[in-house]
Amino acid sequence: MHIKKFLVFPDQFLFVEAKQLLSNPLSILNKAEKFLGLEHQITERNFVFNSTMGAYCRANVKNGRTERCLTGKKHDHPSIKPWTEQALREYFHKYNLRLYKMIGNDFGWPTPDDNSK
């Protein structure tokens, strides 16, 4: 795994999953502030949830206007056969476990035994 050579000083890296950032930006950004040793500046006032977009947006604290929204690329994933998905889960499972151990964070990605989508 290529990341291994960069983890000589693992405490200098913070790994976050994009899905977590999109669903709970305040928590993840507070975690980043703490990791970097910064005073907490980001609060719930910095975000508004745009129900039309289904995403959190940055709120301008001075004027209350909504600015950039945190959205992932919204697209449908191609349909794959269940046996193909299962084979991919089985193949990548050992690498995912190795990654989790290296970075000290389990992202909870689907396992070969997980039949939910």
88 pLDDT exceeds 60?
A: yes
Domain shared by 63 and 115, yes or no = no
Backbone dihedral region of 86: left (phi > 0), alpha (psi from -120 to 50 degrees) or beta? alpha
Q: What is the pLDDT of residues 43-72, one digit of tens each?
A: 998 998 888 888 898 888 777 677 788 876
What's the confidence (pLDDT) of residue 87?
93
Backbone Cα Rg of the chain: 18
What's the confidence (pLDDT) of residue 18?
86
Least confident of 7-21, 28-42, 64-78: 64-78
| Strands 47-50 vs 66-69: parallel, antiparallel or unpaired | unpaired
Domain span holding position 114: 76-117
The model's pTM is 0.71
What's the confidence (pLDDT) of residue 93?
93
Domain shared by 69 and 81, yes or no = no
79-99: average pLDDT: 92
| pLDDT, greater one: 29 or 113 | 29
Q: Structural domain tally of the chain?
A: 2
3-state secondary structure of 49: strand
Domain-embedded: residue 43: yes
